[in-house]
């Protein structure tokens, strides 16, 4: 497989995960919390970075952009898992939620970027893992994929 194919697959996975998040939100009534919304932004950034790499003459530039977003995602989901592991902690209704909901993308696309849920409520299991655990798995897979693209010698 060449870098372009890998980057296109990375973008498809990233945007597909946004589709899953929207399904869970709108069909299953799982409201996203502030940390969930930040993860959405980062999955989108991974997808955009991968597309930049796939369609430019410098695939490693796009892979690098995507990798930075994936590493940020690992940090954010790590915080989310920490909140879930420590009952009593919350990111709930706080300045982060207020600030996130005032970003132009959240006001223009509230169905995608408005944070209405509580981080500590993200415990519903899907195939045995909570949504933040699944997010961590996918950020990990995407991180490793993008590192591989960056380290391989051929384009």
Residue spans per domain, the chain: 3-150
Confidence class for position 76, pLDDT limits 50, 70, 90: very high
By the 8 A CB rule, do 18 and 43 touch? Answer: yes
Judge whether residue 65 has pLDDT over 70.
yes
pLDDT (average), residues 120-129 = 80
Q: How far apart are CA 92 and CA 88, in angstroms?
A: 11
What is the number of other CB atoms lying within 10 angstroms of the CB of residue 44?
19
Judge whether residue 93 has pLDDT over 60.
no
Confidence class for position 17, pLDDT limits 50, 70, 90: very high
Closest alpha carbon to 24 in 120, 143, 102, 134: 134
- Which pLDDT belongs to residue 116? 85
Q: What angle, 0 to 180 degrees and rounded to 10, lies between the N-to-C axes of helices 3-26 and 59-85?
A: 30
Q: Are strands 129-130 and 125-126 parallel, antiparallel or unpaired?
A: antiparallel
More confident: 29 or 155: 29
Predicted TM-score (pTM) of the model is: 0.91
CATH, domain range 3-150: 1.20.1550.10
């Amino acid at each position: 497989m060449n870098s372009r194919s890998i980057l296109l697959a990375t973008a498809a996975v990233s945007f597909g995960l946004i589709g899953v998040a929207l399904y869970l939100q709108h069909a299953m009534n799982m409201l996203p919390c502030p940390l969930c919304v930040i993860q959405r932004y980062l999955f989108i950034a991974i997808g955009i970075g991968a597309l930049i790499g796939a369609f430019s003459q410098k695939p490693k530039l796009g892979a690098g952009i995507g990798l930075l977003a994936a590493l940020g995602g690992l940090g954010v989901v790590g915080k989310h898992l920490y909140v879930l592991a420590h009952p009593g902690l919350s990111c709930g209704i706080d300045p982060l939620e207020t600030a996130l909901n005032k970003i132009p993308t959240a006001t223009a696309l509230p169905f995608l970027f408005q944070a209405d849920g509580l981080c500590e409520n993200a415990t519903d299991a899907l195939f045995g893992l909570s949504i933040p655990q699944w997010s961590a798995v996918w950020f990990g897979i995407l991180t490793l994929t993008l590192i591989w693209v960056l380290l391989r010698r051929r384009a």
